[in-house]
Structure 1
């Protein structure tokens, strides 16, 4: 019996990931005449930007000004998502989960400050019973720590929850925690080689939460 739904944030609820890619791509092209490949950027989606900066340091060497790059991409990203709305179907899922009496948790590799600010801006923060963020674990996704911590806090077994994810790092983490996972990619993560998920949707509008729960009960 499903007792909880666990949502990722970046790229799933709000498509911050496409905005980050566009911000990095624009700044790198303008400042360094460098084209950022999507297949490099996407490796850091759902996790940290360590792999991205390691790649850029190898390609740009001493020319790379990390502080400048972080500052300019951050400022551009803020502008790009200032008026952004939640992805299609998100609020309907949250509303349905609340009506069903399910516990609603957020498990994200981002900070508490980051997600609460954006959720408040989207008027969605009040739906969530728990926020499990990078501040609370030793390792972020693709390590399973965030999801294991969530199960611990909720006092649930893996089969009593559903995870909603948009990234491969998130899927790997959820599967390692043995939680059934519904993958809903965004434009940046759509081409990733997702495997072993319970369902893969193009948007939350594809299936109702009730239909997903029923499909899990049948499996």
Structure 2
């Protein structure tokens, strides 16, 4: 069937907030004269793991660690970086081409709606997206497909009429479990070999025009949604 809608992940795909996240934690550890161990920094699932990271920093600092002050300092630093953060390379061209082709646009993110809206509003791109489906609206985070199912429900489309775009292996899992074909643009923090299950793999949105991506996707058979909760938990 003809593709009618594009559903984008937000963090790391539409906008490189993953890099600013890592940078803010690296910077905060250095305020205490320490170096962040970056191995395993990014979780194998969507959602917020900030409390675990603060607990790790508290253990490293020891007595006298002020969690509230640490959080305020880190967030102020990150917001300063975000002030000049735009869409990821090539994404603006894809969105423009999608609009010219009459394709509908949606976001499916494990992050809260307020986070996604504020960033897209700041860059002037919020109005481009007909649908936002976010992590604070569903019971489970990616690789749970709930947020993609919500996006499809709000679009009023079956999964074979849309395509997902992701930057993480667990995001690809979530999209495919919802029955979507998925284009992966690997983030720089995950080995490319982890994305072998993606339907299309690209190094960047800037390397290929959207029409070529969709032509490749349309040659791939649609998949059936995965309704097995046991399979989801085993991923």
TM over 0.5, yes or no? yes
Task: Please tell me whether the aligned partners of residues 54 and 67 of structure 2 are also in contact (alpha carbons under 8 angstroms).
Answer: no
Residue of structure 1 in register with 2:185 after alignment: 184
Larger Cα-atom Rg: 2
Q: CA RMSD in A?
A: 2.4
Q: Number of aligned pairs?
A: 218
Q: Which runs of 5+ in 2 are unaligned?
A: 221-235
Report the Cα distance in structure 2 between the residues aligned to 1:3 and 1:126, rounded to whole angstroms: 18
Q: Cα deviations across residues 149-196 of structure 1 (Å, max 9, x unaligned)? A: 111222222222111111223222112212111111333346672231
CA contact (8 A) 1:3 1:161 kept: yes
**Higher RCO (C-alpha under 8 Å, 6+ residues apart):** 1
* Aligned residues of 1:88 and 1:203 also touching (Cα < 8 A): yes
Is 2:101 the counterpart of 1:100? yes
Aligned residues of 2:165 and 2:184 also touching (Cα < 8 A): yes
Contact 2:45 2:141 in 1 (8 A): no
- Once residues 159 and 66 of structure 1 are traced to their aligned partners in structure 2, the CA distance between those partners, rounded to angstroms, is 46
Instruction: Summarize the alignment of residues 10-21 of structure 1 with structure 2, pairs less than 5 Å apart.
Output: 10-21=11-22
1:67 aligns with 2:68: yes
Match of 2:48 in 1: 48
The TM-score with structure 2 as length reference comes to 0.82
**Residues 44-99 of structure 1, C-alpha deviation per residue, up to 9 Å, x if partnerless?**
67432168438716953864544333222211111112112211111111111112
Q: Residues 3 and 80 from structure 1, CA distance in 2 versus in 1: closer, same or farther, beyond 3 angstroms? A: same
**Structure 1 position 157 matched with structure 2 position 158:** yes
Where do 1:84-95 residues align within 5 Å?
A: 84-95=85-96
| 1:133 alignment counterpart | 134
Is the Cα–Cα contact under 8 Å of residues 168 and 192 in structure 1 kept in the other structure? Answer: no
> 1:190, 1:74 → 2: CA distance?
28
State TM-score, norm by structure 1.
0.88
- Structure 1 residue matching 2:151: 3-state secondary structure: helix
Q: Would the alpha carbon gap of residues 88 and 158 (structure 1) be closer, same or farther in structure 2, given more than 3 Å must change?
A: same
Whole-angstrom CA distance in 2 between matches of 1:21 and 1:191: 19
Gaps in structure 1 of 5+ consecutive residues: none
| 1:10 CA displacement | 1.3
Aligned to 1:4: 5
Tell me the distance in 2 between the aligned counterparts of 1:186 and 1:171.
12
8 Å CA contact retained: 1:47, 1:140: yes
**Is 64-73 or 4-13 further displaced after alignment?**
64-73
